[in-house]
A and B are shown apart, each in its own frame.
Chain A
Amino acid sequence: MALKTEPIVVNIGPQHPSTHGVFRMRVTFDGEVIVDLEPCLGYLHRGIEKLAETRTYTQNIPITDRLDYLASMTNNLAYVLAVEKLAGVAVPERAEHLRVIMAELMRISSHLMAVGAFLNDCGAFMTPFLYMFREREKILDLFEMVCGQRLTYNYMRIGGVSHDIPDEFLPALRRFIAEMPGFIDEYDQLLASNEILLARAKGVGILPAKLAINTSASGPVLRASGVKWDIRQADPYSVYDRFDFGIPTGEVGDVYDRYWVRIQEMRQSVRIISQAVEQLPSGEVCASMPCLLRPPVGEAYGHIEGPKGELGFYLVSDNSIAPYRFHIRAPTLINLTALRDMTVGWKLADAIIIFGSIDICLAEVDR
Chain B
Amino acid sequence: MTTLLCGHEVAKQITDFLPDAVAVGDGTSVIIKGERLLPVAQFLQNTPGLDFDYLVSITGVDYAGYFEVVYHLTSIKHNHGLILKTRCYSRENPALPSVTSVWRGADFQEREIYDLMGISFSGHPNLRRIFLWEGFPGYPLRRDYL
A–B Cβ pairs within 8 angstroms, 8 of them: A216-B103, A235-B1, A235-B79, A301-B83, A312-B56, A327-B57, A333-B109, A367-B131
Residues of A within 8 A of B54 (CB): 213, 216
Query: Is B70's CB under 8 angstroms from A314's CB?
Result: yes
Query: Is B55 among interface residues, defined by CB-CB distance under 8 A?
Result: yes
B141 touches A336 (CB 8 A): no
Query: Roughly how many angstroms separate A160 CA and B83 CA in the complex, as a whole number?
Result: 28
Closest to A338 in B: B104
What range describes how many residues of B lie at the interface? 20 to 34
> Beyond the given A49-B141, A310-B56, A329-B57, could you list 20 further A-B residue pairs with CB under 8 A, ordered by the A residue number?
A41-B130, A42-B131, A50-B140, A50-B145, A213-B53, A215-B107, A216-B54, A216-B56, A216-B104, A216-B106, A234-B79, A235-B1, A303-B56, A312-B72, A314-B59, A327-B57, A333-B112, A334-B105, A336-B108, A367-B131
Interface residue ranges of A311-326 to B (CB < 8 Å) = 312, 314, 316, 324-325
Nearest Cβ on chain A to B7's Cβ, whole angstroms: 13
Interchain residue pairs A-B with the least CB separation, the first 4: A216-B105, A42-B131, A235-B2, A329-B57
**Which residues between 45 and 60 of chain A lie within 8 Å of chain B, taking CB atoms?**
45, 47, 49-50
Q: When A and B form their complex, what is the total count of cross-chain residue pairs whose Cβ atoms lie within 8 Å?
A: 84
A229 close to chain B: CB less than 8 A? yes
Bound-state Cα–Cα, A50 to B144, Å: 11
Q: How far is the CB of B29 from chain A (nearest CB, A)?
A: 9
Whether B56 and A234, one on each chain, are in contact in the complex, defined by CB atoms closer than 8 angstroms, is: no
CB pair B56 A329 closer than 8 Å: yes
Give complex CA distance A280, B133 in Å. Answer: 50
* Complexed CA–CA distance, A210 and B132 (Å): 32
Considering the chains assembled together, what is the distance between the CA atoms of A41 and B128 in angstroms?
11
B109-143 CB contact bits vs A (8 Å, 1 = yes)? 10010001000000000100111110000001100
Q: Do A234 and B2 have beta carbons less than 8 Å apart?
A: yes
Q: Verify A41–B131 contact, CB threshold 8 A.
A: yes
Q: A213-B76, A301-B72, A333-B108 are in contact. Are A49 and B103 (CB under 8 A)?
A: no
A residues sitting closer than 8 Å to B (CB atoms) are 38, 41-42, 45, 47, 49-50, 211, 213-217, 227, 229, 234-236, 299, 301, 303, 310, 312, 314, 316, 324-325, 327, 329, 333-334, 336-338, 366-367
* In the bound complex, CA of A45 to CA of B131 (Å): 6
Residues on B with C-beta less than 8 A from A236 are 1
**Interfacial chain B residues near A234, Cβ < 8 Å:** 2, 79
Instruction: Give chain A nearest CB distance to B142 CB in angstroms.
Output: 10
In the complex, the answer to whether B61 meets A325 with C-beta atoms within 8 Å is yes
- Once bound together, how far apart are the Cα atoms of A310 and B56, in whole Å? 8
How distant is the Cα of A333 from the Cα of B113 in the complex, in angstroms?
A: 13
